């Protein structure tokens, strides 16, 4: 079968995408091996979700490869290096592709459940006296005074007297 340049370029791109999957998984393995690539549970949550989606999509890719081989075999466009019929090899590959696709769907669901399991998990805060003080007093006292006015100044309006109380001495 002779391919056009457009067909060859499309096949080359498909092969490159598959190589990129391998490269990205390898890089992800390095990133998740230890800090600094994995330091918060939120990162693990995100990675699990993305892996679940990727593996689910991989199942679709496997089904499409199976369908391609079926169509090519049925159209008589496949041969064998040794000159005999490729039917046995194609059927073997299709069985394995279907099994792998089923496994990918199960793995995707399992990863999704793992992600859901850690949905409420967060990094335990490091409670030191300094961190507690910064939470209780989000700004230094001097800065708080500057934002609200200078210390020791009186408000423009005196506080209101409580109802039913005398306003001064000798008043009844």
pLDDT in tens, 111-162: 999 999 999 998 887 767 766 666 666 666 667 667 665 544 544 555 555 4
pLDDT in tens, 86-117: 999 999 999 999 999 999 999 999 999 999 99
**pLDDT score recorded for residue 171:** 44
- pLDDT greater at residue 78 or residue 164: 78
Token couple for 96:
């394995």
Token couple for 71:
């169509």
CA dist., res. 36 & res. 68, Å (int): 42
Report the Cα 100 to chain-centroid distance in Å.
24
In the predicted structure, residue 14 carries a pLDDT above the cut 70: yes
CA dist., res. 31 & res. 79, Å (int): 43
Q: What is this structure's pTM?
A: 0.67
Name 66's Cβ contacts closer than 8 Å, sequence gap at least 6.
93, 94, 97, 98, 101
């Amino acid at each position: 079968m002779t391919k056009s340049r457009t067909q060859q370029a499309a096949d080359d791109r498909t092969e490159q995408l598959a190589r990129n999957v391998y490269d990205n998984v390898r890089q992800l393995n390095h990133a998740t091996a230890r800090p600094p690539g994995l330091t918060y549970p939120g990162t693990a949550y995100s990675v699990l979700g993305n892996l679940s989606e990727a593996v689910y999509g991989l199942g679709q890719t496997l089904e499409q490869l199976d369908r391609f081989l079926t169509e090519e075999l049925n159209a008589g466009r496949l041969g064998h290096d040794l000159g005999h019929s490729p039917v046995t090899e194609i059927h073997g590959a299709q069985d394995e592709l279907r099994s792998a696709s089923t496994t990918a769907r199960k793995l995707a669901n399992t990863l999704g459940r793992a992600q859901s399991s850690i949905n409420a998990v967060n990094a335990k805060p490091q409670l030191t006296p300094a961190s507690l003080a910064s939470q209780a007093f989000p700004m230094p006292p001097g800065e708080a005074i500057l934002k609200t006015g200078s210390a020791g100044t009186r408000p423009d309006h005196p506080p209101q007297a409580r109802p039913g109380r005398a306003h001064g001495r000798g008043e009844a």
